[in-house]
Structure 1
Amino acid sequence: MKIKQVRNATLRVEFGGSRFLIDPYLGEKDAYPGFEGTVNDHIRNPRVELVTPMSEILDVDAVIVTHTHDDHWDEAAIRLVPKDMPLYAQHDEDAALFREQGFTDVRLLADDTRFNDVTIIKTPGQHGSNEALAAIPEILGQVCGMVFRHPEEKNLYVAGDTVWNDHVVANLDHYQPDVIVLNAGDAQVPGLGSIIMGTEDTKRVYDAAPKATLIASHLETVNHSVLTRAELQAFSEEQGMTDRLLISEDNESYVF
């Protein structure tokens, strides 16, 4: 497999002979206001330009959107992704939205989704603590991750926008992934804490999956992600995690 960190949670994944674009966030730097009610909401998003050429980003066989928050599926993605591209949604509500936006080949992720020779398994996650979800359920909403499987590939788990919780524990235990992508930028909502993983949650995954390589994604792109690459690197060195934790730069690729 080849995994390219594009920007934020946007990944380009080559796996089992197919190419996937995950959570396209394709707007130009400063195109959108900050997320209202989150930390640093005075800062515009995205905070950095795309480095990967758009021609490469869109040179894929299918697109997967884990949820439709604006930093995973933005106005630019709606405009730029070809309308006939296979587009996978986590549930019927998102699928209906994609069809309203003009997409003609909308599909649902399931427990056993097949795309060519690749099996994609939708996995649950939780976009914040129980308290956060109870306080602003309509904002945080439902999210998912996914596991990719192929007979000639290692197992890949893309956790999505989740904090450490029983869902993640069960996913790690059941699927035994060899490679794990974590959204680890520690996005924050004042009074409700982290709504994606930060340093401590990354360490929990590192400890729970002792044979897996971890890739930290969703860093330094949106206003409310407060954990920097340098801070995560320092934590990794302090905790002895550098052997299996990769902290991705935009446009950086890994082959496994």
Structure 2
Amino acid sequence: MNIQKLPWAGIRIETDDIAIVIDPITRILEEFGGAREPMYPISYFGKADAVLITHLHEDHFDPAGIIEAYGAAIPVYVPAGLEGAARALGLTNVNGVAVRSSFELSSDVKATALPSVDGLGDIQVAWLVEGSGRKVIHCGDTLWHGYWWSFAQNYGPFDAAFLPVNGAVLELPGMMPSGQPICLTPEQAIAAATVLGAKTLVPIHYGTMQYPPIYNETPNIEARLAAASKVQVNVTLLKTTEKLAL
């Protein structure tokens, strides 16, 4: 299994002659300050046989970019209940997947939707992808939650966990500010990867957006990951376009 880091929170998985992309995007909206890293057409990273979407926030779901890269009929898998919203944006082969349901992408590759907790209360899943004897989990922009132990017991161990780390605090117009992070902090990501029994943590969802006061990324992410990890879990930092072979 080979995995390539895409911008922001996206990854591309190649295994058993199947290519899967999770949360690919081509832009960060200007109301969030635009992107602080280079962005690419999704097709830059190669073909895909399926697209998995953790949730429909615009920094994780880019239907125009998906259609431009793969066509409207590419199989797209979203959390159950979001099919209509995804189809309304031009995608024609949208499949809703219920939490803890699995489906096969080939005789050797399986994807499973697992519970996730969204920082704004919207529907979200984590994706477990299995193939070539390997297991990886991609958790979108989840908060800390109590599912980590059941993931480890029922689905682990994991070869790699792709977890958000930027502990973003939002002050959105029309919403009462909470001062609380809407996704994992560096320390929480280390703790989650430890509970999961992941062989490596690959941080995602950081370094691309910073637009105070609307979007506030937590500081000193890489140093805090290093300090928190110690001997508990290996951390693999990937820049966009870099690859990890499992």
Tell me if both proteins adopt one fold, taking TM over 0.5 as the criterion.
yes
Partner of 1:68 in structure 2?
56
> How much has 1:71 moved relative to structure 2?
0.3
Change (3 A) 1:67 1:54: closer
Partner of 2:154 in structure 1?
174
Count matched residues: 230
* Residue 231 (structure 2) pairs with residue 251 (structure 1): no
% same residue? 21
In 1, Cα distance between equivalents of 2:149 and 2:55 = 21
In 1, Cα distance between equivalents of 2:87 and 2:197 = 41
Gaps of 5+ in 2: 171-176
> How much has 1:174 moved relative to structure 2?
1.7
* Residue 85 (structure 2) pairs with residue 97 (structure 1): yes
Pick one of 113, 116, 119 that aligns with 2:106: 116
In 2, Cα distance between equivalents of 1:126 and 1:56 = 31
Change (3 A) 1:146 1:218: same
* Residue 143 (structure 2) pairs with residue 155 (structure 1): no
* Cα distance per residue 1:69-97 (max 9 Å; x no partner): 010113642552410111111113x2112
In 1, Cα distance between equivalents of 2:16 and 2:111 = 11
> How much has 1:47 moved relative to structure 2?
2.6
Q: Which moved more, 1:76-85 or 1:59-68?
A: 76-85
In 2, Cα distance between equivalents of 1:67 and 1:9 = 12
Gaps of 5+ in 1: 35-43, 129-138
Partner of 2:4 in structure 1?
4
In 2, Cα distance between equivalents of 1:225 and 1:78 = 28
Tell me if the contact between 1:126 and 1:167 (Cα under 8 Å) persists in the aligned partners. no
Secondary structure of 1:59's match? coil
TM-score (norm 2): 0.84
Task: Name the Cα RMSD after superposition.
Answer: 2.3
* Cα distance per residue 1:207-233 (max 9 Å; x no partner): 3234521110111112336146xx233
TM-score (norm 1): 0.81
> How much has 1:144 moved relative to structure 2?
0.6
Tell me if the contact between 1:206 and 1:241 (Cα under 8 Å) persists in the aligned partners. no
In 2, Cα distance between equivalents of 1:243 and 1:200 = 12
Partner of 1:38 in structure 2?
none
Question: How does 1:43-58 map onto structure 2 within 5 Å?
Answer: 44-50=33-39, 54-57=42-45
In 1, Cα distance between equivalents of 2:7 and 2:121 = 21
